[in-house]
């Protein structure tokens, strides 16, 4: 039993009280007894649900700050791709671990990843104790032989990913410009076979949308709908360049989107996701950081602020994407998308809890906890992080972080140098 005492608890109403945890679940809230093996005195701390990072490429931390302020094609062709070609399983493992401790120390208790060497990603995440959805990503470049080969790899990897504790498997067909419609159709079959998530990049740039229409005469969403690709398993990252009718279809098919505002701004996608229309059509709206090479941090507090401010600015409406809405995007909406029994602090939910240090200057005065979390907090405000009932971060410290940082730095400099 683990007892969190005297916390300011962010539930539907904000209450000050205790949280009792048994094994990996919250079993009581409020006036509960303090007979527990472990007691955390949370006076001066707020207890909030752990944050969900709904789209990232964790191991890209290795390339953080490696190439900046460049045109997209130059950046990819001259810098990112040549280095990624040198990645191996060990590099991805340490890069992912670095990302995991950055996320955990920043209050993120779940991440949705797409990258190479996915079993190494799953191993790293699982060892760090963070919850995650790990995709086995693939391209087929419209070559059916390559598709068959890659789907075999995907099935192999999904089985391996499934074996790790608290890791949800996903299939990751990259995008319509790298994967054939046949590849996407087959992805759905595989996802159903393994009860997996589908993790996909959708309509990130105008070029993607225009090129697809030139090639097929259709909008991406309509084409995907025709092959049955759109369903509740799908997490569509970015989803920027969509027409109203396409958003309506996403809503009808129970698709979740993962908005990545900082990355969209940094990579100049040219438009902001249309939150109001998505809300209107009931699209499940989630939030992600994207990879650290295009962000360059994995701080979901910062991402919430970017999301809210970008909506307001781009659509010239300060009432858009309110603090409560963006907080839900980073918690309960994503919990729903991935079928994780968390995202809020309530009895019966998984004990994925973050304690925020309310004594930080930037969180005072506390006229509104939710506004302070969204607009004023950052990763530096996190004191304690509990995932699956286990304390992983205490006083802002993750045990063993020094070694992870050191090893990740070694592989980062090795791949850049060699």
User: Which residues would be at the binding site for its own copies (CB under 8 A)?
Assistant: 61-66, 68-72, 75, 98, 101-102, 105-106, 262, 264-270, 292, 295-299, 302, 305-306, 308-310, 312-313, 316-320, 322-323, 359, 361-362, 364-368, 371-372, 375-376, 378-381, 401-402, 405, 408-409, 412-413, 416
What is the smallest separation between the CB atom of 371 and its own copies, expressed in angstroms? 4
Helix (H) or strand (E) holding 306: helix 300-314
- At 130, is the secondary structure helix, strand, or coil? coil
Report the C-alpha gap between 186 and 183 in whole angstroms. Answer: 5
Is the Cβ of residue 2 or residue 260 nearer to its own copies in the bound state? 260
- Single out the residue of 276, 197, 280, 205 nearest to residue 239, CA to CA: 205
What is the smallest separation between the CB atom of 15 and its own copies, expressed in angstroms? 19
DSSP state of 205: S
Is the Cβ of residue 178 or residue 378 nearer to its own copies in the bound state? 378
Is the Cβ of residue 320 or residue 349 nearer to its own copies in the bound state? 320
What is the smallest separation between the CB atom of 145 and its own copies, expressed in angstroms? 36
Burial 116-128 (b: 16+ CB within 10 A, else e): bbbbbbbbbbbbb
What is the smallest separation between the CB atom of 404 and its own copies, expressed in angstroms? 8
- At 378, is the secondary structure helix, strand, or coil? coil
Report the C-alpha gap between 50 and 354 in whole angstroms. Answer: 5
- Tokens representing residue 11 in the block: 């539930």
What is the smallest separation between the CB atom of 130 and its own copies, expressed in angstroms? 13
Cβ atoms of 63 and 293 closer than 8 Å:
yes
- At 269, is the secondary structure helix, strand, or coil? coil
Is the Cβ of residue 32 or residue 416 nearer to its own copies in the bound state? 416
Is the Cβ of residue 38 or residue 268 nearer to its own copies in the bound state? 268
Cβ atoms of 176 and 220 closer than 8 Å:
yes
Is the Cβ of residue 390 or residue 407 nearer to its own copies in the bound state? 407
- Tokens representing residue 177 in the block: 């410009």
Burial 41-78 (b: 16+ CB within 10 A, else e): ebeebbbbbbbbbbbbbbbbbbbbebbeeeeeeebbee
Is the Cβ of residue 242 or residue 308 nearer to its own copies in the bound state? 308
Is the Cβ of residue 79 or residue 253 nearer to its own copies in the bound state? 79
What is the smallest separation between the CB atom of 224 and its own copies, expressed in angstroms? 27
**The tokens 């809300």 sit on which residue?**
279
What is the smallest separation between the CB atom of 20 and its own copies, expressed in angstroms? 30
Report the C-alpha gap between 298 and 278 in whole angstroms. Answer: 24
What is the smallest separation between the CB atom of 127 and its own copies, expressed in angstroms? 16
What is the smallest separation between the CB atom of 346 and its own copies, expressed in angstroms? 24
Phi-psi region of 282 (alpha: psi -120 to 50; beta: other; left: phi over 0): left
Is the Cβ of residue 230 or residue 326 nearer to its own copies in the bound state? 326
Let me know the angle formed at the C-alpha of 69 by 65 and 71, rounded to the nearest 5 degrees: 120
């Amino acid at each position: 039993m683990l007892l969190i005492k005297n916390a300011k608890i962010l539930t539907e109403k904000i209450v000050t009280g205790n949280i009792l945890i048994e094994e990996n679940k919250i079993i009581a809230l409020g006036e509960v007894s303090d007979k527990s093996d472990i007691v955390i005195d949370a006076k001066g701390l707020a207890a909030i649900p752990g944050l969900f990072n709904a789209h990232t490429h964790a191991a890209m931390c290795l390339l953080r700050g490696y190439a900046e302020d460049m045109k997209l094609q130059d950046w990819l062709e001259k810098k990112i791709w040549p280095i990624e070609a040198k990645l191996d399983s060990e590099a991805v493992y340490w890069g992912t671990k670095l990302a995991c401790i950055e996320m955990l120390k920043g209050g993120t208790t779940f991440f949705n990843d797409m990258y190479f060497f996915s079993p190494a990603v799953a191993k790293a995440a699982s060892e760090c104790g963070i919850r995650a959805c790990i995709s086995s990503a693939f391209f087929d470049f419209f070559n059916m032989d390559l598709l068959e080969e890659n789907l075999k790899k995907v099935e192999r990897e999904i089985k391996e990913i499934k074996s790790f504790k608290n890791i949800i498997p996903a299939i990751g067909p990259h995008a319509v410009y790298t994967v054939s419609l046949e590849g996407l159709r087959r992805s759905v079959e595989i996802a159903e076979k393994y009860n997996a998530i589908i993790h996909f990049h959708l309509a990130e740039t105008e070029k993607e949308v225009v090129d697809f229409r030139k090639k097929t005469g259709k909008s991406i969403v309509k084409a995907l709908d025709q092959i049955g690709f759109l369903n509740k398993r799908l997490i569509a990252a970015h989803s920027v360049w969509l027409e109203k009718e396409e958003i309506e279809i996403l809503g009808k098919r129970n698709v979740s989107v993962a908005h990545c505002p900082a990355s969209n701004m940094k990579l100049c996608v040219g438009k902001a996701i249309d939150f109001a229309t998505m809300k209107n059509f009931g699209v499940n709206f989630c939030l992600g950081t994207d990879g650290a090479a295009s962000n360059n941090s994995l701080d979901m507090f910062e991402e919430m602020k970017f999301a809210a401010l970008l909506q307001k600015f781009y659509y010239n409406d300060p009432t858009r994407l309110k603090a409560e809405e963006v907080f839900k995007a980073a918690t309960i909406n994503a919990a729903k998308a991935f079928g994780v029994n968390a995202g809020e602090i309530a009895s019966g939910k998984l004990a994925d809890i973050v304690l925020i240090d309310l004594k930080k200057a930037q969180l005072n005065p506390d006229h509104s906890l939710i506004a302070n979390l969204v607009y004023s907090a950052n990763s530096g405000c996190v004191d304690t992080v509990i995932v699956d009932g286990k304390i992983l971060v205490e006083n802002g410290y993750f045990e063993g972080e020094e070694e992870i940082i050191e090893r990740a730095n070694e592989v980062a400099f090795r791949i850049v140098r060699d």
